[in-house]
Amino acid sequence: MEIVDQRRSEVRELTGLALRESERAAAGIHRTHRSISDRVFGTVGVFTGQAARPVKTIHDAITDGVYQAVRASMSAAATVGEKVADLPLAVPPSETRLGAEVIAAVTGLIGDDLATRRSPLVADPMRLRLGDDVEVTGSIAIFVHGLMETEHAFEIEGRSPYGDVLAERGVTPVFVRYNTGRHISVNGRALSGLLEEVVGHWPVPVERIALIGHSMGGLVLRSAAYWGERHDHSWVDGVSATVSLGTPHLGAPLESLAHYGSAVLSGFPETAAFGSLLRRRSAGIRDLRGGSLVDEDWAGRDPDALGAALAAEVPLLAGAAHYFVSATLTRSPRHPVGRLVGDGLVLDPSARGVHRARRIGFDPDNGLHLGGANHFTLLHDPAIAHRLVDWVC
């Protein structure tokens, strides 16, 4: 019965979200429509005086009535869907790959809001899963996915290349799924506590721990190490290596573009709805602007302020070897296009943690660059799998 209840609650929440977001979209379109029409009628009125007023009155009445009817229908449908919607699934959507990926996309966008209102989609904000059919050993590799992903991101054709190659060499792969819409520091603190609990109850003594993160996952792992040291968690002492795959240690340009773009769009009535939409992006996405790892970077601050991104300098975990992988769409990272777009989401200097103003502290010899590759190639590339054996085992 518990599975049935979870399935229903997830299906109903997804149905309600889809319909209420559609209602919100209709409101934004209405707002944009009226702003444009008001400007048009205002311009026409300069030349026609009061002659255009009756036309505007009729136009506005029809427009407002249509949009209000659409919004009312969406709201009513959402209310019904939240109470009765269901699907004939054997398990909850979150337990299927497709359902989990849909939920991951939603939580990546608004996961902080969902957590605040205790949505059933984030009832379990962080969980661990052992690799399939692997032996439990004293060497553990913790895999943490990126924004809007799940642990399935590391799989291809039902297999996990990185997990499999490490398992063959006596390392137990452990995969993390988490709500990527929450602040990175919040997820880092939660992961540190979870690892402390897991290591304390591991069936055999834990001798070595490797931390492997893709994109945002690398930042969450760095934050977890920070919290682990701060709270004297014993798991931190077992970390022998960390590997970041396309991690925006110095920030991601797309988030900076969204940050400033939302301010520009919000400044004009005709585009204000689009600005509001951009400003709804989650706390996790916003943290990517500067690669923020700690609470102090965001606590008590206006997230829409147009200042430089705040990112406290958090040193790499002492006593461990640290490796990184960067990629560019071009063969050479020095190519003008490669410099401009990086791997499509993260620039090469950010993945390397080296900039004129900031240096994370990676040894340049502990890195790998993939030319002609994109951000998601980093999840299952043979060259990386080969290096992981050298770095982790």
Query: pLDDT (tens digit, 9 = 90+) per residue, 276-308?
Result: 888 999 999 999 999 999 999 999 889 888 877
What is the CATH T-level fold of the domain 122-251+311-392, as seen in this structure?
Answer: Rossmann fold (3.40.50)
Query: Percent of the chain scored above 70 by pLDDT?
Result: 99
pTM exceeding 0.85:
yes
Q: What is the pLDDT of residue 328?
A: 97
**208-214/139-144 β-pairing:** parallel
Per-residue confidence (pLDDT) for residue 127, from 0 to 100:
94
Question: What are the extents of the domains in the chain?
Answer: 2-95, 122-251+311-392
The whole-number pLDDT of residue 1 equals 52
Q: What confidence tens digit (pLDDT) does each residue in 328-365 have?
A: 999 999 999 999 999 999 999 999 999 888 889 999 99
Tens digits of residue pLDDT in 68-82: 888 888 889 889 888
Whether 2 has a pLDDT exceeding 90, the answer reads no
Mean of pLDDT over the chain: 92
H or E element that contains 41: helix 2-48
pLDDT for 133 equals 79
Residue 185 clears pLDDT 80, i.e. is over it: yes
- Sequence-distant (6+) residues with CB within 8 A of 313 are 358
Give the rounded percent of residues in the chain with a pLDDT score beyond 90.
67
Local confidence band at 64 (pLDDT 50, 70, 90 cut-offs): confident
Is the dihedral angle over the CA atoms 86, 87, 93, 98 positive or is it negative?
negative
Q: How far apart are the first and last CA of the chain?
A: 44
The more confident residue out of 174 and 30 is 174
Res. 186: pLDDT tops 90: yes
